[in-house]
Amino acid sequence: MLKRLLIFLSALICIFLIFNYAVMPIYVNHYETTKVPKLTGLNFLDAKKIVEETGLDIKQADIKFDEKIPIGQILDQNPPPDVMVKSGRRVYVTICGGEQLSEVPNLKGRSLRDAKFALEQRGLKVGETVRKSTSEFPEDHVLSQIVQPGSKVKRNTAIELIISDGPLAGELRVPMIVGKNLEYAKKLINESKLKVGKVTYQTNNEVPAGQVVDQYPKADKSANENTSIELFVAKKKVVIKIEEDEADMSVEGNADLNGSTEKNSQTNKPGVNKESTKSDTKESPNTGNKDQSKETDKTKEPEKSKDKQPPSDKDNSDQKEQ
């Protein structure tokens, strides 16, 4: 068994040697070979001429986008340069596509919001819009687009749209009211044969009070004589400010009040400001008037006795001599 296995392995080795050193050279030498030229950095058209002169073929394999490299320049190749290959061998190259392009989506029938979102996903944006009165699509929906769907455009390209303005309501047009004074806005509405609708006041410190900041329906909408224009008017926010002088006066007033309270507390102490206590007793209630009158009479009696004092001994002696 082992002998058979060794015979089998030796036979395989012999076949490999014969195939590698005898058959393959004959097969390779039977066809002409050539060296692959260096193609990276060349323009695709120039590289194609060089490759065809060497008996090879060139094929575009992939495209890479790079806005810093010229369009059509070869970025990579396979097989690599200086490799010996058979004549007629195909060389695959990767070329630069320049700045990346975006495919414009189909926006017809979409709302303006959806159309804007679809464009932003592809690196595009909404350009100028034109409104048209129609009943084909609801208001603020795309009727058509200037750049057709499927077109390849550069990123950040603005796509112009035609937007539905809704069905035609009448032959009149809503005037532009935003930015006007309220009184002038009412006059403008009346002159346009329309009606002034609800007026809503909104706090807005960025514009003068009484100025119209929004309107409904919007300007240039179709309307009839029964159409009412709702207005939104700015008003100022009331802010109460305390002046510094008033604040200082209030502080001084508080200090005076504190001082007066301290004085009153001192008068309540015994032995302090007797005059004030006497005045307080005079202003006492009527219940104590009788007692106080008696006390005052007693105090007055010694004053009378002082006026009518008895004559002294000297005076009596003078009267006797006379």
What's phi and psi for 203, nearest 5 deg? -70, 125
293: its two tokens:
């009158």
In a domain, 265, yes or no: no
Output the pLDDT for position 205: 87
Q: What is the chain's alpha carbon radius of gyration, rounded to the nearest angstrom?
A: 57
* Domain housing 36: 14-96
Assess contact for 84 and 35: CB atoms under 8 A.
yes
Contact present, 192 and 139 (Cβ < 8 Å): no
* Domain annotation covers residue 256: no
Q: Where does a domain end: 196, 216, 235?
A: 235
pLDDT for the residue numbered 163: 92
Whether 114 is covered by a domain: the verdict is yes
Residues 152 and 102: beta-carbon distance below 8 Å: yes
Q: Within the chain, what is the greatest distance between any pair of CA atoms?
A: 199
> Do residues 78 and 115 share a domain?
no
* Same domain for 28 and 89: yes
How far apart CA 70 and CA 96 sit, in angstroms, is: 7
The last residue of one of the domains, among 109, 130, 164, is 164
- The reported pTM is 0.40
Same domain, 74 and 148: no
Q: 81-114 burial, b for 16+ CB within 10 Å, e for fewer?
A: eeeebeeebebebbbbbbeebbebbebeebbbee
Q: Are 81 and 127 within one domain?
A: no
| Tally of structural domains, the chain | 3
Contact 208, 234 (CB under 8 A): yes
* Secondary structure percentages of the chain, helix, strand, coil, to 5: 40, 25, 35
Domain boundary among 62, 78, 96: 96
Q: What is the pLDDT of residue 241?
A: 57
Which residue shows structure tokens 């929004």?
214
Same domain, 91 and 106: no
Please tell me whether residues 118 and 139 are part of one structural domain: yes
Q: What is the mean pLDDT of each run of 10 residues along the chain (322 residues)?
A: 80 79 60 84 90 88 85 90 86 87 92 94 92 84 92 90 80 86 90 89 90 88 83 80 55 50 46 42 43 44 44 44 38
Quick one: DSSP state of residue 59? E
